[in-house]
Amino acid sequence: MNDFIDNDIVYGDHDIDEESEEDEEDDELNVMKELAECVPKKDHSFQSGHSQYTTHCAHVRKEDPLVVPNFLPVTLPRSDCGDHEYYCCAMLTFFKPWRSGRDLKYKDELWDKAFVAHEFTKQQVEIMKYFNVRYECLDARDDYSAKRDKLDGDISYHWATSDVLGDLNELHANELATVGAEFDPGLEDADAEGDVFNIPGKQGRSRKNEMLATERTMNMAGWLDDCEDGLPDVGSLDPVEPEYNQTSKAWRAAVLAKKQAVLDERNRYLPTNTKSKNNEFEPNKVAIVDKRYIDQLFEPTSKADKQLMVNSIKKYLLNIEQERAFRIIANHAMMEQPDKLRMYLGGMGGTGKSQVIKALIYFFGERKENHRFLVVAPTGSAAALLNGSTYHSVLGINDGEFVSANSLAQIRARLDGVDYIFLDEVSMISCRDMYKISAQAAKACGVHDEPFGGINFIFSGDFAQLPPARSRGPLYAGNVGTQLQSGQSVEQ
């Protein structure tokens, strides 16, 4: 205790304290040097020139067949489904010696190609095979549970076999016979027990008070008063009997089956022998850009396609300007390996931009190529008018910057076979949002040297209408100034 009190006393001479602190620091440094010298100079993980050569080393644990390693914080990717590029990257990281990312693959090389080119040892191949055993067990469990649910018509558990349930029932009967637990409470006891369970808690009382306050406000406002004209005639109020009455699990299975049928129909018409155009840069090479599709005299190679274009124009009553925009996109879609199309379809409200979209949807649908055309918009209401989706849901864009491997695989599945994306209400897209759209499409398609991952984009909208949300930097501004605004930042 005396030592403790003496150490806490503050003396008037601060120089003594500073000198003592310096001595303590020197002592600590000397201790670290002594510990470093005591470390044995063998089995080091670092080379002699490394700063941690004398203080750190690796300890390899002996192999134990009873120990199963678990990878944190996420599980390993699967080899049979999911993002195959991510799986190849993970396996090369585990088994291929590397010091930087360039040791794993070349700059323009795909992970799949680098994975196939690398020669894994027999033991490594066996370990990679065992990595997938866990997923095979989970799939087998899910299949078994699904079969039992289909046979029983209700939720069942893999452990709830007939023998186990019989033993549990027998055990319960024995306990009742032994203890005499055939206890039938009287009416008074049952009422008392019901009163105990009906007493609301803190959250229940708060909810009840809020409901009473709302009801009191509605009474004071007269919303609950009887109408002088009587009740409105709303027709029959008899409940509607559904045509199909089934459980939520059956509805879920029906939705999944319909979704799979749509995917099968889509994959049926996906091209299998597509050849990507070689866009590698070649210095000192001059080439004429092929823009035949913007020419009015462009003739499709198929007479059926030509007649289909005429029928689409007549069906949706397109005027001259609308027909010109429709023909540019339709001609481009019928060419083999054309240059990428970046098109803006402008005009104020009511000029018929939606009619062009509907005509294009009909054109691709008649050619059994619905998978090639996708309609997106910044908001759900704008997307619903065109039977489309928001670009957030299609491209997996959210407030966070991180995109998981599972999410990236889902984005790739949505963009599989898509050649044209029609983005409506482009005036609501900020510069930052446009960058996110291009970056996410490039990441999903694996094409990082072209805008939007090499997908053809058609933008539609009127820049004189709604601006981007939260006052972000718009793509187009009517005034250009020389003074920087304080609100401008990289986020725009």
Please, are residues 474 and 434 in contact by the beta-carbon 8 Å criterion?
Answer: no
Q: For residues 444 and 407, what is the distance between their CA atoms, to the nearest angstrom?
A: 10
**pLDDT at residue number 413:** 83
Residue spans per domain, the chain = 13-62, 77-159, 302-471
Q: Are strands 389-390 and 342-346 parallel, antiparallel or unpaired?
A: unpaired
Please, are residues 405 and 83 in contact by the beta-carbon 8 Å criterion?
Answer: yes
* Cis? peptide before 474, omega within 30° of 0: no
**pLDDT at residue number 489:** 43
Task: List Cβ neighbours of 448 (8 Å cut-off, separation of 6 or more).
Answer: 442
Which has the closest alpha carbon to 356: 316, 383, 306?
316
Architecture of domain 302-471: 3-Layer(aba) Sandwich (3.40)
**pLDDT at residue number 156:** 53
Phi/psi for 346 (5° steps) reads -100, 175
Residue pLDDT tens, the chain, 492 long:
444 334 443 444 444 444 555 555 555 445 455 555 555 555 556 777 777 778 887 777 777 777 766 676 667 888 877 778 888 888 999 899 888 888 888 887 888 888 988 999 988 888 888 887 877 887 788 777 777 766 655 555 555 566 666 666 676 666 555 544 444 445 455 555 555 556 777 888 888 899 999 998 988 888 888 877 777 777 787 888 888 888 888 888 888 888 888 777 777 766 654 444 555 556 677 776 667 777 777 788 888 888 998 899 999 989 988 898 999 988 888 888 788 888 998 888 778 888 898 899 899 888 888 888 889 999 988 888 888 889 988 888 876 666 777 788 888 888 888 889 999 988 888 888 898 899 889 888 888 888 898 899 999 888 888 888 776 777 776 554 444 444 444 444
Q: For residues 326 and 460, what is the distance between their CA atoms, to the nearest angstrom?
A: 13
Phi/psi for 63 (5° steps) reads -65, 130
Which strands make up the sheet holding 456-461, listed edge to edge? 342-346, 456-461, 420-423, 373-377, 389-390
Which has the closest alpha carbon to 304: 334, 267, 326?
334
Q: For residues 309 and 360, what is the distance between their CA atoms, to the nearest angstrom?
A: 9
**pLDDT at residue number 4:** 39
| Angle, alpha carbons 270-322-392 (nearest 5°) | 50
